[in-house]
Structure 1
Amino acid sequence: MTNRLFLIGGPSHAGKSTLAAAVAECLNCRCISTDSLAKHPGRPWRDPPEQLPPHVVEHYRDLSLDEMMQSVLTHYRSMWTPLVLPLIEGRERLVLEGSALLPELVAQLDTQNISATWLVAAEGVLGRRIKVESDYEARDPDKRFLIDKFAQRALAFNRFINEEVSRLSLQKLEVGCETSVDDLMVRLGVAGSP
């Protein structure tokens, strides 16, 4: 592959981090997550004894779905120029992944030597993955409420990304329950797998 930069966007739990790590390993280059650049209230669960910060609880407990979507989109747009764009414009060969890679912003780039794709989850995939990772069944009703709100936002973001990628004629890969990293790498066009 001759691309210097691989951008992999999409919703939480679509498999961005797993795919990005595999691509970076295959191409022997660095992998960075936009989550490491600036945090928005993320997953509303922690492994004991770690407690959820109060602002994370308040975010999911108090905001409507529309408010959560506006909050996360505002956060991602505010990250673009000071944090994400310098990595994209750098000279390093890199795999950059994260939900902050909004199609509307990536579409404005000179895409020479850049491969950009978004993972979009098929119906039911995100909800199942979120419940498994959060150990949903073992949580109390208050924690389940927060996880349900997070899942609602993830599903809304998945729909948003799917619509935006289609509107802008950008590349997307649909992820199903049985989709493997090897499948995604082949579809992405990265020769070989780690």
Structure 2
Amino acid sequence: MANNVKVILIGGSPMIGKTTLATELALKYRYNCISTDDIGEIVQTIIDINPMKDFDYREYYIKNSVEKLIKETLKYHKEIWKPIKHLIEIHSEWSNPIIIEGWALYPKLLRNIDKSNIKCLWLIAGENVLEKRILDKKEFYKGASNKEKMISNYLKRSKWHNKKIYDEVVELDDDYIMIDKDLTKEELVDKAMQLLSGNSE
């Protein structure tokens, strides 16, 4: 990896492999590692921003329209962006190297941050990958009162998010890894390390 990289940011939709990749890279490079989900949990102890607070998480996806799920996702991510940005800045300036992963990261939010020692990696889902991931994770929707609707709404929101990230990545010409159904964990880590070393071939 390039010696001056102090912050690695890994963004992408839920269930796409961000946490797996971040954990593997943190072990290889001996970096600290945190998720934007964890940052959100901390913020929630101070500010009432959790859209699911009055729901069983499964019922949240069943009872709300896809449009509302998207609107509340954007609102929630906006609320936690300031502490995320602060964490990026302090680790890029003086604190220990860190990997920050999460779906609250967006390419356009990062375009005004000095990236001289920050590296962004974006995971983009190929066709049918998100659907396969959620269907395979049976414990996630087990016990839902309407399993089909929960999966459908969750999947539609994830596909919206995946497209948003992809569109922003293409517009800004950022590095990304296409996650297809045949990509193994080892191949994902290898691709990420190539990008971090400056070799995208």
Return the TM-score normalized by structure 1: 0.83
Partners of 2:58 and 2:144 within 8 A in 1 = no
Partners of 1:19 and 1:185 within 8 A in 2 = yes
| Cross-structure match for 1:122 | 126
| Cross-structure match for 1:25 | 27
* C-alpha spacing 1:141/1:61, structure 2 compared with 1 (3 Å): closer
- Long gaps (5+) in structure 2: 42-49
Partners of 1:22 and 1:181 within 8 A in 2 = no
**Cα deviation digits, residues 125-184 of structure 1 (max 9, x gap):** 111111111358965661332232111111111111111111122111100112123222
Per the TM alignment, residue 67 of structure 1 is displaced from its structure 2 partner at its CA by: 2.0
Determine the C-alpha separation between the residues in 1 that align with 2:153 and 2:89: 35
SS at structure 1 position matched to 2:71: helix
Partners of 1:118 and 1:171 within 8 A in 2 = yes
SS at structure 2 position matched to 1:170: coil
Per the TM alignment, residue 114 of structure 1 is displaced from its structure 2 partner at its CA by: 0.6
- Long gaps (5+) in structure 1: 43-51
SS at structure 2 position matched to 1:37: helix
Partners of 2:13 and 2:161 within 8 A in 1 = yes
Partners of 1:136 and 1:147 within 8 A in 2 = no
Equivalent residue pairs, number: 181
Name the aligned partner's letter for residue 102 of structure 1.
Y
Moved over 6 A (4+): none
Partners of 1:76 and 1:102 within 8 A in 2 = no
SS at structure 1 position matched to 2:146: helix
SS at structure 2 position matched to 1:92: coil
Name the aligned partner's letter for residue 128 of structure 2.
G
Q: How does 1:1-194 map to 2 (within 5 A)?
A: 1=1, 2=3, 3-39=5-41, 54=55, 56-57=57-58, 59-81=60-82, 83-90=83-90, 91-135=95-139, 142-188=146-192, 189=194, 190=196
SS at structure 2 position matched to 1:123: coil
Name the aligned partner's letter for residue 129 of structure 1.
R
Determine the C-alpha separation between the residues in 2 that align with 1:134 and 1:148: 14
Partners of 1:120 and 1:174 within 8 A in 2 = yes
Partners of 2:8 and 2:120 within 8 A in 1 = yes
Determine the C-alpha separation between the residues in 2 that align with 1:31 and 1:80: 17
